[in-house]
Structure 1
C-alpha cells in the first residue's frame, strides 16, 4: 500500500469530497439524491462535523465516478485502508490481463500498438511500434525500446519526435488533454500535476495549446502526419481502456493503436513487416 500512501493528495476527507463534488458539477442536494444520503449529512461531511464510514466513502466514490486511485486516497484521508490494490503488471495475479494485452498488440500487426499507464509511460509495445520509433528516432535496427515505465510517450512526442510531426501543434494539444484530465482527477500536489507543469514549460507548448486552429478540417479523428526524409506516414489512433477493473493498475492502462489513413502509409508498414 506504499503507492496509495504516496498518492494521498488531500489533507482530509472533507476536502476530497468537496473537490470531487465540485468537479462533477453537483450541488450537495444533487449528490445527496444520487447517493440516497441526506443533504444535511453531506453538508456535515464537507464541513468535517461528521466522519464517514468506509462503506459510505465507497458509495460516494461510485456515485461521483471517482477513479480507483482517488477512491483509495479518499479512504486514506478518512483514516481507512485502501480498498483497491495496485499491482505491477508482472504480478502473477495479473497474468491473464497481460496475456489479453499481448494478444491485442499482436492482432494490431503490421500496424503499431502500445500500452501506457495513466501518465503515458510505455509499458508494452508490439514490434511494429518499436520499428516506427527506431525509424523516427534514428535508433539502431535492434536497439531495445524501454518498456518499464521509464519511457514517456507524450514527452517523447512533444520533444524528440517534434521535427517529424507535420501537424505538431494539433497533436500537442490533443496529447496534453490526457495529462490535463489526469491532473484534474488527481488534484494539486499529484504526480500528474507535476508532469503537466513540466510538459507545459517546454518551448512552444503554451502557444500550441492556447491557439485554436480555425483551418482544421472536420475529420472524425485526429490525424497524425509524420515525415522523415522521403517517407510520409499519415495515421490516426484509437485508445482502449480495460472495462470494469478492480485493480488500480488495470484501471489506468491505455492501449493505443495506430492505423494508416492512406494506402501509402499502409504499404510502408506492410513492407517493414515483410523485412523482419
Structure 2
C-alpha cells in the first residue's frame, strides 16, 4: 500500500477544511454523522481525538475523496484504510480488461484513461494517432502510457498541442478548472496545487483565462477545435468514472472519450480507421 502525502498538519485542520468545503455547519455534521455537536467542536479544536471508525464515518458523510480520507487518517496517527494499487497489479486485471474493452469500443474515435492529475495511463490507437499527428510525431513513435505524459500540460504548453487549438482560451479555462477542483479537494501543499501553479505560469495563461466565456458559446457543450495542415477537427468529450471504487487508484481514474461535433470530423476519423 502506498501511503499518500499528508496535506494537513493535524486532523482538526483537515476536518475544519472539509466541513467548510462541503458547506456543513457543526450542527448539520453532528446530525448526519450521529455525533454530538460538542464532540465535533472538540475534534476541530484539538481537545478530543477521533477514533479510526469515526474518521471513516465523517469521510463518508462529507464525501471526502479516498486519497484525502487516507490523509485524514494519517493526520490523526492511523494507518491508511484504502489501498492504492497499480493497474498492473493482479487484483486489478478485471478492471484493466474493462478499460481496454471500453477503449476498443470507442474506435474509430479517440479515448484515453487518465488519473486525477490527467497523467496518461491508457489510450486507444485513434487517440495515439491523433496526438502523433497534432504533435508532429513520427507515425510509429511510442507514446508513453506510464503516467509520465500529462494530458493537460501537453494541451496548454506552447510546445505541445496549444498551437493547434483554435479555441485556445476557452479550452484553457476549462482545463484549468479541472485541476483547480483537484487542488481544492487535496487541500494546501498538495501535488494538484503544485501542478495548478505550474500550469498558471505557462506563457499566455493568466487569471483572465480561468473563467469561461459563456456568452459566445452557441453549442450546448465546449468543443475542442484542432487545426493543422488543412485538417480541422471539432470534438467534444465525455468523462466516465468507475462506480463504488474502494481503491484510491480506481477512484481517481477517468476515461475521456472524444466524439465528433460535426460530420466532417466524423468522416476524418472514419477514414483514419480504414487506413
Cα distance in 2, alignment partners of residues 123 and 249 from structure 1: 11
RMSD over aligned CA atoms reads 1.1
Cα distance in 2, alignment partners of residues 216 and 226 from structure 1: 18
Shift of 1:219: 2.4
Equivalence for 1:270: 270
Structure 1 unaligned spans of 5+ = none
Any residues of structure 2 matched to 1:125-204 within 5 Å, and which? 125-159=123-157, 160-204=160-204
Give the number of equivalent residue pairs: 273
Any residues of structure 2 matched to 1:1-276 within 5 Å, and which? 1-4=1-4, 7-159=5-157, 160-210=160-210, 212-213=212-213, 215-275=215-275
Cα distance in 2, alignment partners of residues 229 and 78 from structure 1: 56
Cα distance in 1, alignment partners of residues 31 and 207 from structure 2: 43
Cα distance in 2, alignment partners of residues 209 and 40 from structure 1: 44
Q: TM-score, normalised by structure 1?
A: 0.97
Structure 2 unaligned spans of 5+ = none
Q: TM-score, normalised by structure 2?
A: 0.97
Shift of 1:195: 0.3
| Contact 1:169–1:208, Cα closer than 8 Å, also in 2 | no
Cα distance in 1, alignment partners of residues 214 and 181 from structure 2: 24
SS of the residue corresponding to residue 268 of structure 2 reads helix
Cα distance in 1, alignment partners of residues 116 and 37 from structure 2: 34
User: Hey, which bits of structure 1, 4+ residues long, moved more than 3 A?
Assistant: none
| Contact 1:172–1:208, Cα closer than 8 Å, also in 2 | no
Cα distance in 2, alignment partners of residues 35 and 219 from structure 1: 42
- 1:219-269: per-residue Cα shift (whole Å, max 9, x none)? 221111111011010110000111110000000000000000111101111
Shift of 1:216: 1.6
Shift of 1:218: 4.2
